[in-house]
């Protein structure tokens, strides 16, 4: 489990060892994680939600890299304010993934679990009881009121880049409202 710094900026010299150049620290960090994992190695990484939705070249290429080289086991959407006591109010997701072994085909689905509607703050932190259903469902990847599966292969075949942006753009919808849109 790791948590790269959010919003940091790296100069060009720091970017030289990375295939996809960007000043965004969290994207460089994610590339490093993927490259450092041994086949079969597992990771959970807390990333700001911008990594999921930004369309700059390095962000898109890094997301493509994780989809091609890893099995994304789950994406857990955390509520805004989860890390407010640590001084970070940015919206975050936890990506759980496993580095694929050579010759293994990447999976065609990603399972999402959404806690973004849970109200948290300095006096009302996110507690472990909020994760009980996630921990119960994560291995079976069962759909629920808070979880759903996205078929990546179908989206690649049918969606234009602009329609992907519309469907995956973060919204203020509740998990129940999101479910029909994501299916």
**pLDDT (tens digit, 9 = 90+) per residue, 90-140?**
889 999 999 999 999 999 999 999 999 999 888 888 899 999 999 999 999
State both tokens at 162.
Answer: 């602009």
> Where do the structural domains in the chain lie, given as residue ranges?
12-182
How sure is the predictor about 168, in pLDDT bands with cuts at 50, 70 and 90?
very low
Which candidate, 38, 153, 61, places its Cα nearest to that of 107?
Answer: 153
Question: For residues 165 and 4, which has the higher predicted lDDT (pLDDT)?
Answer: 4
Identify the DSSP state of 7.
S
Quick one: CATH architecture of 12-182?
3-Layer(aba) Sandwich (3.40)
């Amino acid at each position: 489990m790791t948590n790269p710094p959010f919003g940091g900026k790296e100069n060009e010299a720091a970017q030289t060892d990375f295939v996809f150049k960007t000043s965004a620290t969290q994207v460089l960090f994610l590339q490093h994680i993927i490259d450092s994992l041994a086949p079969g190695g597992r990771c959970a990484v807390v990333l700001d939600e911008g990594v999921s939705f930004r369309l700059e070249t390095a962000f898109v290429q890094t997301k493509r890299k994780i989809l091609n080289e890893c099995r994304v086991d789950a994406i857990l959407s955390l509520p805004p304010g989860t890390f407010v006591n640590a001084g970070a109010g940015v919206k975050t997701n936890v990506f759980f993934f496993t580095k694929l072994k050579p010759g293994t085909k990447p999976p065609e689905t990603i399972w999402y679990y959404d806690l973004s509607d849970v109200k948290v703050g300095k006096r009302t932190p996110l507690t472990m009881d909020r994760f009980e259903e996630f921990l119960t469902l994560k291995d079976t990847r069962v759909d629920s009121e808070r979880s759903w599966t996205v078929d990546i292969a179908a989206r690649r075949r049918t969606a234009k880049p602009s329609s992907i942006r519309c469907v995956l753009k973060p919204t203020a919808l509740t998990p129940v409202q999101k479910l029909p849109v994501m299916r």
